[in-house]
Structure formats: structure tokens, C-alpha cells
Amino acid sequence: MRIEQQEKRNGEAGFTLIEVMVVVVIIGILAAVAIPSYMTYIQKSRVSALVFPGMRSIENEMVLYYVTKGTMPANSQIDEVAALADTTYFTPTLNSGALTITINSPGPDSKLSRLHNQTITATPSIVGGKIASWQLSGTLADSLGMVH
């Protein structure tokens, strides 16, 4: 009788291999879903921290230019409107009043290397002689879900 009790205890302790494998598969599925979302979140936060401040600075200068001169800056005046902006991680260009930002972060260790050469274009919406809003478009806006 003593041997039967010992065998019963040994049989009840722990998990079977199948149970462990099921848990591993569930964790793998959860990770496969969560990791891409997390990476998008990280890239979006880096764009918000490293690109948007400079982009907003250029937009503000464009608004000031428009208010004082009654027209949007010419394509060749990008250096004038971007003079105060931190453009460390991007290259700004103007095209018929729209501001295009191209991510310039080529190194593999760069914070925005996954977004290198992607673009975001901010197009002013002029209503009643005033810039009412900026519409975002481009590959960067699409990939990070910033189109509006």
C-alpha cells in the first residue's frame, strides 16, 4: 500500500510535456501579435520626439512667412524657414507650399534607422486667408497611422 501511495504522488506532480508545449505555443502567438505593435509604438514615439519638434518649427515659420507676405514661401526658401529647426534626423523640402520631411537616419544604430528615406508631407489648408490646419500624408504617415 505504501508503494501505491508513492506512485500516485509521483504521477500527480508537475505538468505533462503536452501542457508545457501548449503554454509555449500560446506565449509564441501572443508575442507574434504584440511585438509588431510595440515596434510601431516605439517608432511613433521616436518620430514624435525627434522629428515633430523640428517639423512644427518649420510649419510655424511658414505660417509667419504667409502672414507677413501673403504667400507661401517658394521652394528655394527652405533654408530660410528651416533655419531655427533641429533637422538632425530629417531633410526638409518645400514643394508648392507643402512641407515634405524625409527621414535621414541611415546608420544601423540610429534611432530612426527603420524609417530611413520615408517621407511625411504637411500640406497647409488655407481657409479665409488663414492657415487653418495641416494635412499629413506620405509613407511615414501611412506606416505609423498618422494620416488625417
Give the chain's domain count.
Answer: 1
- Read off the CATH number of the domain in which 53 is found: 3.30.700
| DSSP H/E element including 135 | strand 130-137
> Which domain does 112 fall in, by range?
1-148
Whose CA is closest to 92, among 61, 131, 121, 123?
A: 121
Virtual torsion, Cα 17, 22, 28, 31, nearest 10 deg: -130
Cα separation, 89 vs 139, in Å, equals 16
Cα separation, 107 vs 48, in Å, equals 20
- Give the predicted TM-score (pTM) of the model: 0.76
> Going residue by residue through the chain (148 aa), what tens digit of pLDDT does each one get?
555 555 555 556 788 999 999 999 999 999 999 998 898 889 889 999 999 999 999 999 999 999 999 999 999 999 999 999 999 999 999 999 999 999 998 888 888 888 999 999 999 999 988 999 999 999 998 888 876 5
